[in-house]
Amino acid sequence: MSYRPKHHLTAPQGRLNDPNGMMLLGDELHVFYQHDPSFPAQPKRTGWGHAVTTLGSGVWRHFPDALYPGVSYDENGCYSGSGVVHDGQIRLFYTGNVKRDGKRLTSQNIVDVDDIEGPMGGTYRRRGTNPAIDGPADGYTAHYRDPHVTLAPDGTWRMVLGAQRENGTGAAVLYTSDDLDRWQFAGEIEFAGLNYNVASAYMWECPNLLRMRDQATGEMRDVFVFCPQFPDSDECGYVVGKLEGLRFEVERDFTPLDFGSEFYAPQLISDNNGGALMLGWMGLPARDDTPSFPAEGWVHQLTLVRELSLIDGHLATALQIPDAHDMLVERVALGDAPWAADLVAEGDHVCATVTWQPDGAGRGTVFVDVAGRIRWAECAAGELVLSADGAAVECTAGDGEVAFSFAVFAPGGAQWSALTPQ
């Protein structure tokens, strides 16, 4: 028995957090991730782990870590970022973290990658001209990180960074480039129509900016995913609208991307068909106390690969569930009748309860109770899909209208046996 999932990405040892540098090469998805292999025996020095999966297989192959803190501009951490494949060349972009004399210094840096499909998973060379962006722009603090690079509609490149203004509020800033090498500060993105509470967060982490095709209208829309941080919570959601220059007209206000208790720092890439692929961290900042570390030497996991579709301004989620017999997968049609079921592990341990309460008008509310922690979301009637794989439990409902992620630790790592109706 083990807490470690078989089809969700975990680090071989130590601490895992944000997915980084996702890139699709044919049907193989390369994923980097924040990795602290010496956690918690040594002071935090986070680098980038690296693994690859063939889409749909649920099988991960690990390579040696791609980045580890080792130069003057990242000596205290190679923080989150993204990857780009262009003209046969691969570049990674990451935030270098330095702590000196009680102060934080951050920079944005470029790594050239060769032979990523080779037996060692590539060679990684930091640019001799790094930092590509040395420190924050005027008016922002050193909380200035997580570069996400995508191609703009006009054929140029854009990099969005999460930032904190000097007044202690969160923001997103934009840089532009013609060649992926030299970057110019364009300014702060203005979100017209954004919920005031979200706008007042003290930091916006892990931004993603990409274009998606709305399947209901056929129109292209800009989707901005980010994680606003508050003194007592860390959230993750998205807005949909239209970006022109630095003005983002919000058409769908901030909407949670996942309603579970363990979901943060997602990364999205285009699926080349107007949709997106996404992985999220099934964890939260500063929540490392889990049974998996003392028992097995690892902490945290990533979600299954998720397929995102934009439908009438709303992101719908489909779990990419492998054809495997060593994880629990249940599908239930939710309709006009109430329904409840227990997630049961071997030994008849009830570890979670899922409940559906219809409203009589084709919609209702899904509740998920894990050890007294209850999360809920409203959605349409439709299919509920639940997967349980080691400590990783994921659920979608309303034909993908809502999603939930939970870390659930069955006693002693007991295997899942059933989703049993009450």
Are 181 and 282 members of one domain?
yes
Are 261 and 359 members of one domain?
no
Residue 2 lies in a domain: no
Residue 276 belongs to a domain with what CATH number? 2.115.10.20
Helix (H, G, I), strand (E, B) or coil at 422: coil
Residue 1 lies in a domain: no
Are 292 and 336 members of one domain?
no
Q: What is the pLDDT of residue 1?
A: 86
Residue 9 lies in a domain: no
Are 263 and 333 members of one domain?
no
Domain hosting residue 400, numbered range? 328-421
Which residues belong to the active site? 18
Are 24 and 169 members of one domain?
yes
Confidence of residue 286 (pLDDT cuts 50, 70, 90): confident
Residue 217 lies in a domain: yes
Number of H helices, E strands in the chain: 2, 33
Are 351 and 306 members of one domain?
no
Domain boundary residue, one of 290, 319, 348: 319
H/E stretch holding 336 = none
Are 124 and 234 members of one domain?
yes
What is the residue-wise DSSP string for 152-163? -TTS-EEEEEEE
Are 399 and 298 members of one domain?
no
Q: What is the pTM of this model?
A: 0.97
Please say whether the beta carbons of 388 and 368 come within 8 A. Answer: no
Residue 45 lies in a domain: yes
pLDDT tens digit sequence for 317-344: 999 999 998 999 999 999 999 999 999 9
User: Is the sign of the CA dihedral 377, 392, 224, 53 positive or negative?
Assistant: negative
Rounded Cα–Cα distance for residues 353 and 360 (Å)? 22
Residue 264 lies in a domain: yes
The pLDDT of residue 72 is above 90:
yes
Mean pLDDT of 168-184: 97
Residue 194 lies in a domain: yes
The pLDDT of residue 44 is above 90:
no
Please say whether the beta carbons of 133 and 108 come within 8 A. Answer: yes
Alpha helices, DSSP H, located in 263-412: 292-296
In single-letter form, the type of residue at position 352 comes to A
Domain boundary residue, one of 280, 295, 319: 319
Number of domains the chain contains? 2
Are 233 and 106 members of one domain?
yes
Q: Compute the 3-state secondary structure of the chain and give helix, strand, coil in percent, each to the nearest 5.
A: 5, 60, 35
Are 22 and 94 members of one domain?
yes
pLDDT tens digit sequence for 247-268: 999 999 999 999 999 999 999 9
pLDDT tens digit sequence for 122-148: 999 999 999 999 999 999 999 999 999
Rounded Cα–Cα distance for residues 354 and 99 (Å)? 45
Rounded Cα–Cα distance for residues 39 and 95 (Å)? 20
Kindly report which listed range (5-9, 38-42, 67-71, 251-255) carries the lowest average pLDDT score. 38-42
Please say whether the beta carbons of 38 and 49 come within 8 A. Answer: no
7-26 core/surface letters (b: 16 or more CB in 10 A; e: else): bbbbbebbbbbbbbbbbeee
Q: What is the pLDDT of residue 42?
A: 87
Are 272 and 289 members of one domain?
yes
**What separation in angstroms does the CA of 52 have from each of 186, 265, 267?**
34, 19, 15
Rounded Cα–Cα distance for residues 157 and 271 (Å)? 18
Rounded Cα–Cα distance for residues 208 and 212 (Å)? 12
Domain boundary residue, one of 319, 343, 358: 319
Instruction: Give the bridge partners for 355, in sequence order.
Output: 340, 367
Residue 153 lies in a domain: yes
Look at the block and give the residue holding tokens 């192959």. 61
Are 222 and 291 members of one domain?
yes
Q: Which tokens in the block code for residue 390?
A: 């080691």
